[in-house]
Structure 1
Amino acid sequence: MSGSSRKYMSTDELERDAEFHRRAEAFAKEMVAKIWSRSGYESPKWIGKQNAARERARASEAEIASRADDCPRDQRWSFNNRAPRRQVAA
């Protein structure tokens, strides 16, 4: 799922999506630990799955945060379009 398609999901769907990917990340982390303990080998397959799940969960959580009432439109954050930092007067 691309990051832009999340804007069409409901908040409940985004929360379920984030939870699903958090569980997938935990499972992949467990698999990395098991493989390491048994063979001393860090599996790039499971490390990649763990990182991908983490990023997907973050994307869903970022979309949920951008929908908050107290989040100004110009301050909304996404992976592709990061909000500008506030200017600090010197």
Structure 2
Amino acid sequence: MPRLGFRRQVEAVSFPQPDRPDVPSLEAHAREQFAIGDKAWQTYRGLHAEAQEERLAEEVEAKRASVRWGCCNEEAQPQLTHCTASPA
């Protein structure tokens, strides 16, 4: 599946048939996978990093937010956890 925001990933599977019985389980599984990835990422971010690695990690963090929330630009994603496109 192409790299889409969380909501878009679920919609890509369910759009043709939004009342499919497996949509809730797909959503739950996707949320679980994002939680696992977020925990690993936060563990990594908690480690000491030299300046170059820190800059790269910040770039990756912005890209993670874009993939996760489907933000189309950096202004719409001021922080990973407070992106204006995050689901309610």
TM over 0.5: no
TM-score when scaled to structure 2?
0.43
Over alpha carbons, which structure has the higher Rg?
1
TM-score normalised by the chain length of structure 1:
0.42
